[in-house]
């Protein structure tokens, strides 16, 4: 069994910066999504920041990144830094989500102004 969400993601999707560890576990995307769904915000952020330290890198699929950011924001809806990080990711992988990203940036600005 993987000890962290990051380790599970690295085994399943690979890592642009480190070799994929040898692992004898059966890797199925839906098992990872289940773990991601119930992970705490710190674990999700650790995975995103380690496997995708820059907005335009990493091997995580776009839909996994979007889901991860969404799950973090559901747990921490009022953190401007996280809203901006998620918006930047949406812009990078848009343009379908540009309106949502712009709204997130406005919300982050409003939260920071308070």
- pLDDT, one tens digit per residue, over 38-66 is 999 999 999 999 999 988 889 999 999 99
Among residues 53, 66, 76, 64, the alpha carbon closest in space to that of 97 is found at 66
Which pLDDT value is given to residue 19?
Answer: 83
To the nearest 5 percent, what fractions of the chain are helix, strand and coil?
65, 0, 35
Q: Is 12 exposed, middle or buried (0-12, 13-18, 19+ CB in 10 A)?
A: buried
Which pLDDT value is given to residue 35?
Answer: 95
> Between 42 and 17, whose confidence is greater?
42
**Torsion sign over Cα 45, 46, 48, 53:** positive
Helices and strands (H and E) in the chain: how many: 6, 0
- pLDDT, one tens digit per residue, over 55-104 is 888 999 999 999 999 999 999 999 999 999 999 999 988 788 999 999 99
Opening angle at CA 56, ends 52 and 62, nearest 5 = 75
Average pLDDT over every residue of 2-29: 88
């Amino acid at each position: 069994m993987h000890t962290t969400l990051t380790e599970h993601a690295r085994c399943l999707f690979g890592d642009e910066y480190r070799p994929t560890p040898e692992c004898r576990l059966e890797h199925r995307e839906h098992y990872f999504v289940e773990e991601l769904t119930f992970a705490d915000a710190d674990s999700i952020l650790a995975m995103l920041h380690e496997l995708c330290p820059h907005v335009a890198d990493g091997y995580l699929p776009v839909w996994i990144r979007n889901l991860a950011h969404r799950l973090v924001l559901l747990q921490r809806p009022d953190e401007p830094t996280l809203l901006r990080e998620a918006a930047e990711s949406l812009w990078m992988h848009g343009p379908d989500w540009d309106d949502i990203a712009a709204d997130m940036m406005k919300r982050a600005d409003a939260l920071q102004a308070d």
